Amino acid sequence: MKQIVVATDFSSCASNAMEYAVDLAKILNIELCAIHAIHPTEGVDNSIQNAIFIEDYYNNKRRALATWAAGFVSRYQYQDVKVTTVCEVGSLSNVLTKYIDNNPVELLVMGSMGSTGISGLFGSNASMMISKTRIPTLVIPLETKFKSAPVITLATDFTTDLSPEDVNALNELLLAFKSEQLNILNVIETPEFKTNEEGENNLKSLIGNANLEFKYIQEDSAKEGIMNFIIGNNTDILCVVKHHHNIIYRIFNRSTIDQVMNKSVKAILVLHTQD
């Protein structure tokens, strides 16, 4: 069975992302796996005693993770959500990548800040995973709460083709949420204003689980255009598309997407292109 993976460092933002993922797993009828990475130097001080008991330290961390994850599905309404845990030694990116490569992961969920409480983790762990993996990744800010009927907006410039896996993930989300509408946002940064009929038809052929509402707005900045739109239209989930050839976002440069992530309190679903 396909899975949702949640990366956790036990921070409040990771807990919020886990709560969101549990609700999502329930409506998708999908398994959930919580993953924690133990840094190779964690719990090590080079003493002989520490070297003897380091495995006990690791096992305690594994038990703590299992207890933490179980707490999210202890309520009656979540009793049918299957949760597993993985706690391994290594960098977060390596532990996650190894698991994703060897398991049927459909979605990666991460908080937008870490245990340090510094907003803009998008630029470290979350940013690194989005750069390294082609799994659809849902980044959840601390302020974001799960909604059973979210307003979803896909920002696009119509020049990229979504991968089949990401098309499937987006369609499954729309179906699970029973979404009747998906906003398709195109920010035009040039004086010439025109619609894109070919691009519209291509998306209509790919996304069949909701009516597509095409929105064209003119702004000097893609970031400002997107931020103004998602606020003005009460967007709950913003979908953006990542291009892998040169590790930049097709409609943003890296600094722009970081600014959107750091400024937005909405969930952001990062999808990937077909190469």
Q: What is the pLDDT of residue 262?
A: 56
Structure letter (DSSP) for residue 249: E
| d(C-alpha 191, C-alpha 208), whole Å | 32
Decide if 3-140 and 152-272 have a common fold.
yes
pLDDT per residue as tens digits for the range 150-167? 999 998 888 767 888 888
Cβ atoms of 150 and 238 closer than 8 Å: no
List % helix, strand, coil for the chain (3-state, nearest 5): 40, 25, 35
34 or 196: which carries more pLDDT confidence?
A: 34
pLDDT per residue as tens digits for the range 229-241? 988 888 999 988 7
Measuring CA to CA, which residue among 188, 166, 181 is closest to residue 240? 166
CATH architecture assignment, domain 152-272:
3-Layer(aba) Sandwich (3.40)
pLDDT per residue as tens digits for the range 171-212? 999 999 999 999 999 988 888 888 889 999 999 999 988 999
Pairing of strands 152-155, 181-188: parallel
Q: Where are the domains of the chain?
A: 3-140, 152-272
How high does pLDDT run on average in the chain?
82
Structure letter (DSSP) for residue 73: T
The per-type count for the chain, helices as H runs and strands as E runs, is 8, 11
State pTM to two decimals.
0.85
Element (H, E) at 58: helix 48-72
Task: Specify the CATH superfamily of domain 3-140.
Answer: HUPs (3.40.50.620)
